[in-house]
Amino acid sequence: MSATLLDVTAVRSRFTALQRRLAFFDGPGGTQVPDEVIDAISGYLRSDNANVGAPYETSRRTSALVDLAHERAGDFLGCSGDEIAFGQSMTSLNFLLTRALARELKAGDEVLVTKLDHDGNVAPWLALQEDLGIVVRNVGINADLSLDYDDLASKLSDRTRVVAFPLAANSVGTAPDVQRIVGLAHSVGALAWGDAVHFGPHGPIDVTAWDIDVLLCSPYKFYGPHMGMAYGKKELLASWRPYKVRPAADDPAGHRYELGTCQHELLAGLVAALGYIDSLGWDAMLAHERALGQRFLDGVPAGLDLYGLPTMEGRVPTFCFNVPGHTSEEVATHLADKHEVAVWWGNYYALETMRALGLDEWMGAVRAGIVHYNTEEEVDRLLAGVAELV
Protein backbone atom coordinates (compact mmCIF):
# COMPACT_ATOMS: atom_id res chain seq x y z
CA MET A 1 0.00 0.00 0.00
CA SER A 2 1.20 3.51 -0.79
CA ALA A 3 2.99 5.38 1.99
CA THR A 4 0.73 8.39 1.45
CA LEU A 5 -2.51 7.13 -0.12
CA LEU A 6 -4.92 5.03 1.89
CA ASP A 7 -7.29 2.65 0.13
CA VAL A 8 -10.20 3.21 2.50
CA THR A 9 -12.41 0.66 0.77
CA ALA A 10 -9.78 -2.02 1.30
CA VAL A 11 -9.30 -0.92 4.88
CA ARG A 12 -13.00 -1.09 5.67
CA SER A 13 -13.27 -4.55 4.11
CA ARG A 14 -11.13 -5.79 7.01
CA PHE A 15 -13.82 -4.76 9.55
CA THR A 16 -17.08 -6.69 9.73
CA ALA A 17 -18.26 -3.94 12.10
CA LEU A 18 -18.02 -1.36 9.30
CA GLN A 19 -20.23 -3.28 6.88
CA ARG A 20 -23.27 -1.17 7.77
CA ARG A 21 -24.51 2.37 7.25
CA LEU A 22 -23.80 3.53 10.81
CA ALA A 23 -20.90 6.01 10.69
CA PHE A 24 -18.62 5.58 13.68
CA PHE A 25 -17.30 8.90 15.01
CA ASP A 26 -17.05 7.41 18.50
CA GLY A 27 -13.39 6.37 18.24
CA PRO A 28 -12.37 8.54 21.23
CA GLY A 29 -14.50 6.18 23.34
CA GLY A 30 -13.10 3.08 21.60
CA THR A 31 -12.39 2.24 17.97
CA GLN A 32 -13.84 -0.60 15.96
CA VAL A 33 -11.76 -3.77 15.68
CA PRO A 34 -10.54 -5.42 12.47
CA ASP A 35 -11.49 -9.04 11.96
CA GLU A 36 -7.90 -10.19 12.34
CA VAL A 37 -7.95 -9.02 15.95
CA ILE A 38 -11.16 -10.92 16.62
CA ASP A 39 -9.71 -14.01 14.95
CA ALA A 40 -6.53 -13.80 17.03
CA ILE A 41 -8.52 -13.66 20.28
CA SER A 42 -10.80 -16.55 19.37
CA GLY A 43 -7.91 -18.52 17.90
CA TYR A 44 -5.97 -18.30 21.16
CA LEU A 45 -8.98 -19.47 23.15
CA ARG A 46 -9.58 -22.36 20.76
CA SER A 47 -6.02 -23.61 20.44
CA ASP A 48 -3.65 -22.24 23.09
CA ASN A 49 -5.66 -21.42 26.22
CA ALA A 50 -3.49 -22.14 29.26
CA ASN A 51 -1.67 -20.48 32.10
CA VAL A 52 2.08 -19.88 31.94
CA GLY A 53 4.81 -21.85 33.62
CA ALA A 54 3.83 -25.44 32.83
CA PRO A 55 5.86 -27.89 30.70
CA TYR A 56 3.12 -28.76 28.22
CA GLU A 57 2.45 -27.45 24.72
CA THR A 58 -0.31 -24.88 25.25
CA SER A 59 1.40 -23.37 28.29
CA ARG A 60 4.65 -22.99 26.36
CA ARG A 61 2.79 -21.29 23.51
CA THR A 62 1.09 -18.97 25.97
CA SER A 63 4.44 -18.05 27.53
CA ALA A 64 5.77 -17.28 24.06
CA LEU A 65 2.71 -15.10 23.39
CA VAL A 66 3.28 -13.13 26.60
CA ASP A 67 6.87 -12.48 25.60
CA LEU A 68 5.86 -11.52 22.07
CA ALA A 69 3.17 -9.13 23.31
CA HIS A 70 5.68 -7.31 25.51
CA GLU A 71 8.15 -7.14 22.64
CA ARG A 72 5.58 -5.82 20.15
CA ALA A 73 4.21 -3.31 22.66
CA GLY A 74 7.76 -2.11 23.26
CA ASP A 75 8.22 -1.64 19.52
CA PHE A 76 4.99 0.34 19.38
CA LEU A 77 6.01 2.67 22.20
CA GLY A 78 9.71 2.87 21.33
CA CYS A 79 11.14 1.04 24.33
CA SER A 80 12.18 -2.36 25.60
CA GLY A 81 9.52 -4.98 26.18
CA ASP A 82 10.89 -5.28 29.72
CA GLU A 83 9.54 -1.78 30.41
CA ILE A 84 5.95 -2.69 29.50
CA ALA A 85 3.16 -3.59 31.92
CA PHE A 86 -0.29 -4.83 30.93
CA GLY A 87 -3.42 -4.46 33.02
CA GLN A 88 -7.17 -4.12 33.12
CA SER A 89 -7.21 -0.51 31.92
CA MET A 90 -5.12 2.65 31.78
CA THR A 91 -6.87 3.91 34.91
CA SER A 92 -6.21 0.76 36.94
CA LEU A 93 -2.54 0.78 35.89
CA ASN A 94 -2.26 4.46 36.74
CA PHE A 95 -3.65 3.94 40.23
CA LEU A 96 -1.17 1.08 40.69
CA LEU A 97 1.83 3.05 39.42
CA THR A 98 0.96 6.21 41.33
CA ARG A 99 0.58 4.18 44.50
CA ALA A 100 4.02 2.67 44.01
CA LEU A 101 5.52 6.14 43.51
CA ALA A 102 3.55 7.40 46.53
CA ARG A 103 5.79 5.39 48.85
CA GLU A 104 8.43 8.03 48.04
CA LEU A 105 6.19 11.12 48.28
CA LYS A 106 5.53 13.27 51.33
CA ALA A 107 3.19 16.06 52.39
CA GLY A 108 3.90 19.25 50.46
CA ASP A 109 5.26 17.55 47.36
CA GLU A 110 3.54 18.90 44.29
CA VAL A 111 2.03 17.29 41.18
CA LEU A 112 0.98 19.36 38.18
CA VAL A 113 -1.95 18.24 36.05
CA THR A 114 -3.57 20.14 33.17
CA LYS A 115 -7.05 21.36 32.35
CA LEU A 116 -6.87 19.21 29.22
CA ASP A 117 -6.52 15.96 31.14
CA HIS A 118 -8.85 12.99 31.30
CA ASP A 119 -9.65 12.24 34.93
CA GLY A 120 -7.69 9.00 34.63
CA ASN A 121 -4.54 11.12 34.97
CA VAL A 122 -6.01 13.46 37.59
CA ALA A 123 -8.03 11.41 40.08
CA PRO A 124 -5.10 9.16 41.15
CA TRP A 125 -3.15 12.27 42.14
CA LEU A 126 -6.14 13.83 43.91
CA ALA A 127 -6.50 10.64 45.93
CA LEU A 128 -2.86 10.98 47.00
CA GLN A 129 -3.52 14.60 47.92
CA GLU A 130 -6.23 13.35 50.27
CA ASP A 131 -4.18 10.43 51.60
CA LEU A 132 -0.70 11.95 51.89
CA GLY A 133 -1.15 15.70 51.81
CA ILE A 134 0.62 16.23 48.50
CA VAL A 135 -0.51 19.29 46.53
CA VAL A 136 -2.14 18.92 43.10
CA ARG A 137 -2.04 22.07 40.95
CA ASN A 138 -3.81 22.72 37.66
CA VAL A 139 -2.00 24.07 34.60
CA GLY A 140 -4.26 26.36 32.61
CA ILE A 141 -5.21 26.52 28.96
CA ASN A 142 -5.44 29.39 26.49
CA ALA A 143 -8.60 30.71 24.85
CA ASP A 144 -8.03 28.41 21.84
CA LEU A 145 -7.68 25.46 24.24
CA SER A 146 -3.96 25.05 23.64
CA LEU A 147 -1.87 24.38 26.73
CA ASP A 148 -0.57 27.47 28.55
CA TYR A 149 3.15 26.68 28.69
CA ASP A 150 3.90 29.93 30.52
CA ASP A 151 1.50 28.89 33.28
CA LEU A 152 3.18 25.48 33.40
CA ALA A 153 6.62 27.04 33.71
CA SER A 154 5.46 29.44 36.42
CA LYS A 155 4.09 26.61 38.56
CA LEU A 156 7.27 24.50 38.48
CA SER A 157 9.38 24.58 41.61
CA ASP A 158 11.77 22.47 43.64
CA ARG A 159 8.67 20.89 45.21
CA THR A 160 7.35 19.59 41.86
CA ARG A 161 7.64 15.82 41.69
CA VAL A 162 5.44 15.00 38.67
CA VAL A 163 4.05 16.79 35.63
CA ALA A 164 1.07 14.77 34.40
CA PHE A 165 -0.31 15.64 30.96
CA PRO A 166 -2.18 14.26 27.93
CA LEU A 167 -0.47 13.67 24.60
CA ALA A 168 -3.84 14.52 23.06
CA ALA A 169 -6.98 15.77 24.79
CA ASN A 170 -9.80 13.27 24.42
CA SER A 171 -12.31 16.13 24.64
CA VAL A 172 -11.17 18.88 22.27
CA GLY A 173 -8.33 17.25 20.34
CA THR A 174 -5.46 19.50 21.46
CA ALA A 175 -2.10 17.73 21.09
CA PRO A 176 0.47 19.49 23.32
CA ASP A 177 4.20 19.61 22.58
CA VAL A 178 5.45 16.48 24.37
CA GLN A 179 9.15 17.26 24.29
CA ARG A 180 8.56 20.80 25.54
CA ILE A 181 6.60 19.50 28.52
CA VAL A 182 9.17 16.79 29.24
CA GLY A 183 11.95 19.37 29.11
CA LEU A 184 10.14 21.66 31.53
CA ALA A 185 9.44 18.79 33.94
CA HIS A 186 13.02 17.58 33.88
CA SER A 187 14.35 21.12 34.41
CA VAL A 188 13.21 20.87 38.04
CA GLY A 189 13.88 17.15 38.43
CA ALA A 190 10.21 16.15 38.09
CA LEU A 191 8.85 13.08 36.31
CA ALA A 192 7.01 13.53 32.99
CA TRP A 193 3.88 11.34 33.25
CA GLY A 194 2.02 11.07 29.94
CA ASP A 195 -1.50 9.91 29.14
CA ALA A 196 -1.39 8.64 25.53
CA VAL A 197 -4.82 6.99 25.54
CA HIS A 198 -6.33 9.41 23.04
CA PHE A 199 -3.12 9.91 21.08
CA GLY A 200 -2.69 6.17 20.42
CA PRO A 201 -4.54 5.98 17.06
CA HIS A 202 -3.29 9.37 15.89
CA GLY A 203 0.46 9.04 15.52
CA PRO A 204 3.65 7.15 16.35
CA ILE A 205 4.90 7.15 19.94
CA ASP A 206 8.60 7.14 20.86
CA VAL A 207 9.07 7.28 24.62
CA THR A 208 12.85 6.94 24.30
CA ALA A 209 13.23 9.87 21.90
CA TRP A 210 10.87 11.95 24.03
CA ASP A 211 12.68 10.94 27.26
CA ILE A 212 9.29 10.58 28.94
CA ASP A 213 9.33 8.78 32.29
CA VAL A 214 5.91 7.09 32.41
CA LEU A 215 3.33 6.69 29.65
CA LEU A 216 -0.03 4.93 29.66
CA CYS A 217 -2.40 4.00 26.86
CA SER A 218 -5.35 1.75 25.98
CA PRO A 219 -5.23 -0.67 23.03
CA TYR A 220 -9.00 -0.50 22.56
CA LYS A 221 -8.49 3.08 21.36
CA PHE A 222 -6.18 1.86 18.55
CA TYR A 223 -8.12 -1.07 17.05
CA GLY A 224 -7.31 -3.58 19.78
CA PRO A 225 -9.04 -5.24 22.74
CA HIS A 226 -10.16 -3.70 26.03
CA MET A 227 -7.07 -3.59 28.22
CA GLY A 228 -4.46 -1.15 29.51
CA MET A 229 -0.78 -0.78 28.68
CA ALA A 230 1.90 1.19 30.49
CA TYR A 231 5.55 2.10 30.01
CA GLY A 232 8.00 3.19 32.65
CA LYS A 233 11.72 3.74 32.48
CA LYS A 234 13.39 0.54 33.63
CA GLU A 235 15.36 2.21 36.41
CA LEU A 236 12.17 3.80 37.78
CA LEU A 237 10.10 0.63 37.70
CA ALA A 238 12.92 -1.29 39.36
CA SER A 239 13.39 1.32 42.10
CA TRP A 240 9.75 1.49 43.23
CA ARG A 241 8.20 -1.13 45.49
CA PRO A 242 4.99 -2.25 43.78
CA TYR A 243 1.86 -3.65 45.36
CA LYS A 244 1.95 -7.31 44.32
CA VAL A 245 1.79 -10.85 45.62
CA ARG A 246 5.04 -12.22 47.06
CA PRO A 247 5.77 -15.05 44.60
CA ALA A 248 5.37 -12.77 41.54
CA ALA A 249 8.62 -12.19 39.71
CA ASP A 250 10.58 -8.96 40.18
CA ASP A 251 12.11 -9.16 36.70
CA PRO A 252 11.59 -7.95 34.06
CA ALA A 253 10.80 -4.61 35.69
CA GLY A 254 7.51 -4.09 33.87
CA HIS A 255 6.14 -7.44 35.05
CA ARG A 256 6.31 -6.22 38.65
CA TYR A 257 3.21 -4.13 37.93
CA GLU A 258 1.05 -6.85 36.39
CA LEU A 259 -1.33 -8.13 39.03
CA GLY A 260 -2.27 -11.76 38.61
CA THR A 261 -2.60 -13.59 35.32
CA CYS A 262 -2.48 -11.47 32.18
CA GLN A 263 -5.46 -11.52 29.81
CA HIS A 264 -3.71 -13.88 27.40
CA GLU A 265 -6.43 -13.88 24.74
CA LEU A 266 -6.36 -10.07 24.75
CA LEU A 267 -2.60 -10.10 24.33
CA ALA A 268 -3.15 -12.16 21.18
CA GLY A 269 -5.58 -9.47 20.01
CA LEU A 270 -3.09 -6.73 20.84
CA VAL A 271 -0.38 -8.37 18.75
CA ALA A 272 -2.82 -8.58 15.83
CA ALA A 273 -3.88 -4.93 16.27
CA LEU A 274 -0.28 -3.74 16.16
CA GLY A 275 0.26 -5.86 13.07
CA TYR A 276 -2.78 -4.22 11.50
CA ILE A 277 -1.33 -0.74 12.09
CA ASP A 278 2.00 -1.83 10.66
CA SER A 279 0.28 -3.17 7.55
CA LEU A 280 -1.10 0.31 6.74
CA GLY A 281 1.69 2.58 7.96
CA TRP A 282 1.34 5.83 9.86
CA ASP A 283 1.94 8.05 6.84
CA ALA A 284 -1.10 6.78 4.98
CA MET A 285 -3.34 6.65 8.04
CA LEU A 286 -2.50 10.15 9.24
CA ALA A 287 -2.67 11.78 5.82
CA HIS A 288 -6.20 10.42 5.39
CA GLU A 289 -7.52 11.32 8.82
CA ARG A 290 -5.94 14.78 8.64
CA ALA A 291 -7.67 15.42 5.30
CA LEU A 292 -10.98 14.35 6.81
CA GLY A 293 -10.37 16.61 9.79
CA GLN A 294 -9.82 19.56 7.48
CA ARG A 295 -12.97 18.62 5.55
CA PHE A 296 -14.92 18.78 8.81
CA LEU A 297 -13.45 22.18 9.75
CA ASP A 298 -14.10 23.58 6.26
CA GLY A 299 -17.73 22.45 6.43
CA VAL A 300 -18.67 23.58 9.94
CA PRO A 301 -22.01 25.39 9.60
CA ALA A 302 -22.29 28.99 10.74
CA GLY A 303 -23.72 29.27 14.22
CA LEU A 304 -22.15 26.09 15.58
CA ASP A 305 -20.24 26.50 18.85
CA LEU A 306 -16.97 24.70 18.03
CA TYR A 307 -14.44 24.52 20.86
CA GLY A 308 -10.71 24.28 20.33
CA LEU A 309 -8.09 24.95 17.72
CA PRO A 310 -9.65 26.11 14.41
CA THR A 311 -7.10 24.37 12.17
CA MET A 312 -5.49 20.94 12.04
CA GLU A 313 -2.25 22.30 13.47
CA GLY A 314 -1.50 21.22 17.02
CA ARG A 315 -4.43 18.85 17.26
CA VAL A 316 -5.85 15.48 16.33
CA PRO A 317 -9.17 15.19 14.42
CA THR A 318 -11.40 15.08 17.49
CA PHE A 319 -13.98 17.86 17.59
CA CYS A 320 -16.04 19.20 20.47
CA PHE A 321 -19.08 21.36 19.80
CA ASN A 322 -22.57 22.40 20.80
CA VAL A 323 -25.61 23.50 18.82
CA PRO A 324 -27.29 26.56 20.35
CA GLY A 325 -30.81 25.76 21.50
CA HIS A 326 -30.17 22.04 21.84
CA THR A 327 -28.60 19.95 24.55
CA SER A 328 -25.61 17.81 23.64
CA GLU A 329 -27.74 14.72 24.27
CA GLU A 330 -30.41 15.98 21.86
CA VAL A 331 -27.81 16.55 19.15
CA ALA A 332 -26.24 13.11 19.57
CA THR A 333 -29.66 11.46 19.55
CA HIS A 334 -30.70 13.37 16.41
CA LEU A 335 -27.53 12.30 14.59
CA ALA A 336 -28.02 8.67 15.61
CA ASP A 337 -31.75 8.44 14.86
CA LYS A 338 -31.96 10.57 11.71
CA HIS A 339 -28.58 10.12 10.08
CA GLU A 340 -27.09 6.91 11.51
CA VAL A 341 -24.09 8.81 12.83
CA ALA A 342 -22.50 7.72 16.12
CA VAL A 343 -21.08 10.50 18.31
CA TRP A 344 -20.70 10.95 22.06
CA TRP A 345 -22.10 13.63 24.34
CA GLY A 346 -21.18 14.55 27.90
CA ASN A 347 -17.91 15.40 29.64
CA TYR A 348 -15.79 12.40 28.53
CA TYR A 349 -14.19 12.45 32.02
CA ALA A 350 -12.54 15.77 31.09
CA LEU A 351 -14.09 17.68 33.97
CA GLU A 352 -11.58 20.51 34.12
CA THR A 353 -11.91 21.15 30.39
CA MET A 354 -15.69 21.46 30.65
CA ARG A 355 -15.33 23.82 33.60
CA ALA A 356 -12.81 25.93 31.69
CA LEU A 357 -15.30 26.20 28.81
CA GLY A 358 -18.06 27.23 31.20
CA LEU A 359 -20.17 24.23 30.22
CA ASP A 360 -22.35 22.10 32.40
CA GLU A 361 -19.84 19.52 33.57
CA TRP A 362 -22.25 16.63 33.07
CA MET A 363 -24.02 17.59 29.84
CA GLY A 364 -20.76 18.94 28.40
CA ALA A 365 -20.71 18.93 24.61
CA VAL A 366 -20.96 16.73 21.52
CA ARG A 367 -17.77 14.95 20.49
CA ALA A 368 -16.99 13.59 17.03
CA GLY A 369 -13.71 11.74 16.54
CA ILE A 370 -12.28 10.85 13.14
CA VAL A 371 -9.93 7.92 12.53
CA HIS A 372 -8.49 6.44 9.36
CA TYR A 373 -11.42 4.15 8.55
CA ASN A 374 -13.87 7.05 8.26
CA THR A 375 -14.87 8.34 4.83
CA GLU A 376 -15.63 11.66 3.16
CA GLU A 377 -19.28 10.64 2.80
CA GLU A 378 -19.50 10.01 6.54
CA VAL A 379 -17.99 13.40 7.36
CA ASP A 380 -20.45 15.08 5.00
CA ARG A 381 -23.34 13.20 6.61
CA LEU A 382 -22.22 14.31 10.06
CA LEU A 383 -22.05 17.93 8.91
CA ALA A 384 -25.44 17.73 7.20
CA GLY A 385 -27.06 16.34 10.33
CA VAL A 386 -25.61 19.11 12.48
CA ALA A 387 -26.59 21.78 9.93
CA GLU A 388 -30.23 20.70 10.18
CA LEU A 389 -30.25 21.65 13.86
CA VAL A 390 -28.27 24.87 13.49
pLDDT tens digits for range 275-292: 999 999 999 999 999 999
Judge whether residue 198 has pLDDT over 80: yes
Judge whether residue 387 has pLDDT over 90: yes
Contact 257, 93 (CB under 8 A): yes
Side-chain-side CA neighbours of residue 300 (13 Å): 18
Residues 6+ apart with CB under 8 A from 188: 156, 157, 158, 160
> How far is residue 46 from each of residues 49, 69, 167, 189, 228, measured CA to CA in Å?
7, 19, 37, 49, 24
Specify the pLDDT at position 247: 87
Specify the pLDDT at position 250: 86
Judge whether residue 321 has pLDDT over 50: yes
- Domains, the chain, in order of start with CATH, read 8-32+281-389 (3.90.1150.10), 40-276 (3.40.640.10)
Q: Cα–Cα distance between 14 and 9 in angstroms, integer? A: 9
Specify the pLDDT at position 248: 85
Q: Is the peptide bond before 252 cis (omega within 30 degrees of 0)?
A: yes
Specify the pLDDT at position 156: 98
Q: Cα–Cα distance between 185 and 156 in angstroms, integer? A: 8
Specify the pLDDT at position 3: 43
**Tens digits of residue pLDDT in 72-84:** 999 999 999 999 9
CA-nearest of 198, 246, 127, 130 to 369 is 198
Give the pTM. 0.96
Specify the pLDDT at position 4: 57
First CA to last CA distance, the chain: 40
Judge whether residue 241 has pLDDT over 70: yes
Mean pLDDT estimate for the chain: 96
**Tens digits of residue pLDDT in 37-79:** 999 999 999 999 999 999 999 999 999 999 999 999 999 999 9
